[in-house]
A and B are shown apart, each in its own frame.
Chain A
Amino acid sequence: DQQVKQNSPSLSVQEGRISILNCDYTNSMFDYFLWYKKYPAEGPTFLISISSIKDKNEDGRFTVFLNKSAKHLSLHIVPSQPGDSAVYFCAARDPWNNNDMRFGAGTRLTVKP
């Protein structure tokens, strides 16, 4: 029962353009959403987060949008850079289950020079 879904296993964009990574969830009790970035042979690292009481959070080139009614969030990277090439995991926190963090399957982003 995957409560967090990333339906696109891969995405390829040109350097300088926008990258949009999508994530859907099913549990309306999730109160916090995070994006993690993972390079090969490394552990995931935190990228950006958003509380369920907000609909947008921005940090430099990275913006996360949350649409609670659609149970959907997205990560925008503008402009995309080759160093952004990595696997991106969407995660959601369940406050009613000891803050259990549920992860999506990940989207592999490739930014071409």
Chain B
Amino acid sequence: NAGVTQTPKFRVLKTGQSMTLLCAQDMNHEYMYWYRQDPGMGLRLIHYSVGEGTTAKGEVPDGYNVSRLKKQNFLLGLESAAPSQTSVYFCASSPGTTSDTIYFGEGSWLTVV
């Protein structure tokens, strides 16, 4: 039972490099999210999507872009990585507005040097 799968799990980037984090869910969920977790800050929402082809900004969207071309996939892009983007990134999904539960992936550890 895969649930929410993130790739890659670990990545080290140099400042200015670009990369894409891939999230896939097999639960046919409408909503998908990208969060980042930093010490003392909890989980902060970067971007989210309420359905295929839609995206919206969350609490901390600057420096990131997202795409939801297929319902099951949600991509998070860093166009020009900065050390401030060193964090643990979590993808999540939920059935929709009536759901009270978000299902998380295992996380992706990103270090920007």
B56 touches A98 (CB 8 A): yes
B58 touches A100 (CB 8 A): yes
Give the A-B contact count at a CB cut-off of 8 A. Answer: 54
Bound-state Cα–Cα, A101 to B58, Å: 10
B100 touches A103 (CB 8 A): no
| Contacting residue for B106 out of A41, A93, A99, A100, CB 8 A | A41
B56 touches A34 (CB 8 A): no
* Stretch from B13-21, B44-52, B61-69, B70-78 at the A interface: B44-52
Classify chain A: how many residues form its interface, as a range.
20 to 34
Bound-state Cα–Cα, A2 to B44, Å: 10
Residue of A nearest to B41 (CB): A105
Query: Shortest beta-carbon distance, B44 to chain A, in Å?
Result: 7
Query: Count of B residues near A, CB < 8 Å?
Result: 25
- Which residues of the partner chain B approach A86 to less than 8 Å between Cβ atoms? none
| Contacting residue for B42 out of A42, A89, A93, CB 8 A | A89
With A100-B58, A105-B40 known to touch, is A43 a contact of B100 (CB < 8 Å)?
no
B50 touches A98 (CB 8 A): yes
Give residues in A with beta carbon < 8 Å to B: 2, 4, 6, 9, 32, 34, 36, 41-46, 49, 89, 91, 93, 98-106
Give residues in B with beta carbon < 8 Å to A: 4, 33, 35, 40-45, 48, 50, 56, 58-59, 90, 92, 97, 100-107
